[in-house]
Structure 1
Amino acid sequence: MASALPSFLLRQAGLQDHRQILRLARELDSTNLPTDSAELAEVLERSTKSFTGEIAKREHSIYVFCAEEIGRRRIVAASMIIGKHGTPSSPHYYFEMDADERYSHTLRRKFRHPYLRLRYSMDGPSELGGLIVSAAMRGHPERIGKQISWVRFLYIARHRRRFQRQLIAEMLASGEPGHGNRFWDHYGRLVTGLSYREADRMSTRDKEFIRTLFPDAPLYTFMLPEQVRSSLGVVGENARGAVKILEQAGMRFLKQMDPFDGGPYYGAEIENLAPVKSFAWYRATKVESAEKEGIRYLISREDARGFRAVAATAAVDTRRMIIPRAILDILSTKYGDRIDAAPLP
């Protein structure tokens, strides 16, 4: 099991990380991970209370994770889980992608007309979001992007009761210069009178305008320009790596898309996710003289000091995990303590 020590500690984020996470958030510029200093401080405060269990209601809980470069204490990546997206006061809105089939016996012609229909859920799923890796760390050999994404599954597996049955992730669509979006400009702007940026920001506070201004009738996509049609439900270039990680976990395209930018929703039942099914707890055990062959795991420890995890090579024997002392030192734990783990592909 001899291997180099890991470069990153994954852990729950706190208010002390505000400055560094704000810098990361501004690289992504996402509404999930706010770029406004005060808004981000509120998110981090909610996250801290969610991790400690002070926020019991799923619709109010949010969990922010960060990856810290060991030794330098520099935060290089972040991700998050939203406990529940969709309530009676703030439904989860999406476009369902479907099609009508039409046939004329007279003309002997058959047509398939794809359309979008606005749907909503008042008892929505849990959601993954806010994933960003610092530009300087993209392509790192330790694949920090996979680690900061996968750590969320590890946490969900340990705390199943804190989350909904279904888990979704909205993937970024192709953007336009100046924070625009082709789909919104050809549809959303016309039915709301708002720019894409205005609508995106407003929806974080109040979604009433979606239900009242978006038509109930289906939108037949052949009425849109080809350039817009070809972008519907398509993942943006910068999000393709994130999609591959989700697919490895067992999430699939739901034939649903965001009503603002046309970005696709991926999802799955939590119990069917690969890292959740392979999740297990162990007792940390010393490396034996006759070393077992190990594999790469994401290993976590949670106690009064909070949740933290690291990617490392280890071997398991029933409920024991044979692990080097140096890894336990990084996790601030000791032999005999409980640790949780899931294989890291």
Structure 2
Amino acid sequence: MMVVRPIKADDYAALRELARKTGPGFTSLQDNDKQVAAKLETALLAFTANPAPKEALYLFVMEDTETKEVVGISGIYSAVGLTEPWYNYRVGTLVHASRELKVYNKINTLTITNDHTGYSELCTLFLSPDARYGRNGALLSKSRFMFMAEFPKRFNEHLIAEMRGYSDENGVSPFWEGLGRHFFSLDFAEADKISSMDKVFIAELMPQNTIYTNLLPQAAQDAIGKTHEATTPARKLLESEGMRYTGYIDIFDGGPTLECRTDDIRTIRKSDYVKVSIIDDAPEGGLYMISTTDFNNFRCCLSAIELVGKHVIGLPQAVADALNITEGTTVRIAPLSSGRRF
């Protein structure tokens, strides 16, 4: 059984191994010892510091309870842009028209902004390729919403998620080649690596004026708002939860930024408290996310449930063991799919 839990200090080796598998463009978890160590340290502080850091990183791992292997990772920043600027491009439109010449042209533009300063951010979602089966990806991603529902005061009322932008089979980003390279004189992978550690150089080198996209190579224009093939399932999942692309893109690879009000997330709206009754037989039916209410010992897994009474559900002992709960424990549940109700 797969269970999602907060990351621990002794998960470093597993985190480092996942970082080796992420590939180019995965800014938040790169094949870099220093970055991985810093990310782990930041995540541990989020669960131990009192008060929590303003830009706390709540990092979770997916663990196979049978093998004890960590197979995935996901995270949430409580806020972004409070200590360092948070940059992205806003895609806009300018109209150049002349009645005398009978000319009317609509031109897309890119304007660098800090519009999402203070927003909470979904980040660092990665599932090991050999664990990409069943509903593991959905659990790894959506379990974050269960945590946010349980501890809403730790997060902003607005939520964003940056999707990895398109790159070709060689890991080359057409958007970067058509725009960023002219100002940074760096390969995409190198610039992406540096940005994950220090974003200050972005402000120093990036053009502050509005950019007309029709001056970019066609390949760069086509990549604006386009999601990397490996990230498309994650985008569809977040869109099923209510997040939408509203015209903001990453300044490096042109990937779309999804956003919505935190309270509008389907899982958060549909979640509810119930008490647990331990049953002998495994229930049948649709899957639900079941999560605990303890901050430091938060755990979330998937299971079908049996309705035992009003606000009481039946769970098999194996699920209770995975969650470290007992008879009568209060848990939060939410349907995994949008078509099911409790």
Q: Considering the TM-score relative to the shorter chain, is it more than 0.5?
A: yes
- Check the 8 A contact 1:91/1:121 in 2, yes or no: no
Paired residue secondary structure (1:259): coil
Which deviations, in whole Å up to 9, do the C-alpha atoms of 1:66-123 show, x marking residues without a partner?
A: 1112211111221111221112x41110100011123322233321111111111483
1:257 paired residue among 249, 252, 260: 249
Q: Could you tell me how far apart the structure 2 residues matched to 1:281 and 1:160 are?
A: 15
Matched, 1:308 2:299: yes
- Check the 8 A contact 1:298/1:311 in 2, yes or no: yes
Q: Could you tell me how far apart the structure 2 residues matched to 1:298 and 1:288 are?
A: 20
Paired residue secondary structure (1:282): strand
Residue of structure 2 equivalent to 1:50: 46
| CA deviation after TM superposition for structure 1 residue 216, in Å | 2.4
Residue of structure 2 equivalent to 1:36: 32
Residue of structure 1 equivalent to 2:21: 27
Q: Could you tell me how far apart the structure 2 residues matched to 1:120 and 1:205 are?
A: 19
Q: Could you tell me how far apart the structure 2 residues matched to 1:245 and 1:122 are?
A: 22
Q: Which runs of 5+ in 2 are unaligned?
A: 338-342
Residues 11 and 152 (structure 1), Cα distance of their counterparts in 2 relative to 1, 3 Å cut: same
- Check the 8 A contact 2:74/2:124 in 1, yes or no: yes
**Quick one: percent identity of the two aligned structures?**
29
Residue of structure 2 equivalent to 1:297: 288
Residue of structure 1 equivalent to 2:233: 241
Residues 215 and 292 (structure 1), Cα distance of their counterparts in 2 relative to 1, 3 Å cut: closer
Q: Could you tell me how far apart the structure 1 residues matched to 2:327 and 2:249 are?
A: 47
Matched, 1:272 2:268: no
Which deviations, in whole Å up to 9, do the C-alpha atoms of 1:41-72 show, x marking residues without a partner?
A: 3322322231345451231x111211112211
2:74 paired residue among 68, 71, 79: 79
- Check the 8 A contact 1:62/1:83 in 2, yes or no: yes
Matched, 1:106 2:67: no
Larger displacement relative to structure 2 (204-213 or 24-33): 204-213
2:151 paired residue among 138, 153, 159: 159
Larger displacement relative to structure 2 (65-74 or 29-38): 29-38
| CA deviation after TM superposition for structure 1 residue 154, in Å | 0.7
Aligned residues: 334
Q: Could you tell me how far apart the structure 1 residues matched to 2:295 and 2:219 are?
A: 53
Aligned AA (1:81):
I
Paired residue secondary structure (1:271): helix
Aligned AA (1:312):
S
Paired residue secondary structure (1:99): strand
Aligned AA (1:217):
N
Q: Could you tell me how far apart the structure 2 residues matched to 1:122 and 1:106 are?
A: 41
Q: Could you tell me how far apart the structure 2 residues matched to 1:91 and 1:262 are?
A: 18
- Check the 8 A contact 2:139/2:302 in 1, yes or no: yes
Q: Could you tell me how far apart the structure 1 residues matched to 2:214 and 2:94 are?
A: 12
| CA deviation after TM superposition for structure 1 residue 179, in Å | 4.5
Aligned AA (2:258):
Y
TM-score normalized with structure 1 length = 0.89
Paired residue secondary structure (2:17): helix
TM-score normalized with structure 2 length = 0.90
Matched, 1:14 2:8: yes
Residues 177 and 169 (structure 1), Cα distance of their counterparts in 2 relative to 1, 3 Å cut: same
Q: Could you tell me how far apart the structure 1 residues matched to 2:240 and 2:73 are?
A: 20
2:212 paired residue among 213, 216, 220: 220
Paired residue secondary structure (2:97): strand
Residue of structure 1 equivalent to 2:62: 67
Q: Could you tell me how far apart the structure 2 residues matched to 1:254 and 1:124 are?
A: 17
Which deviations, in whole Å up to 9, do the C-alpha atoms of 1:302-330 show, x marking residues without a partner?
A: 43861111100114554323323331122
Paired residue secondary structure (1:262): coil
Q: Which runs of 5+ in 1 are unaligned?
A: 1-6
Q: Within 5 Å, which residues of 2 pair with 1:194-233?
A: 194-233=186-225
Q: Could you tell me how far apart the structure 2 residues matched to 1:122 and 1:66 are?
A: 26
- Check the 8 A contact 1:94/1:119 in 2, yes or no: yes
| CA deviation after TM superposition for structure 1 residue 15, in Å | 1.8
Q: Could you tell me how far apart the structure 2 residues matched to 1:101 and 1:144 are?
A: 46
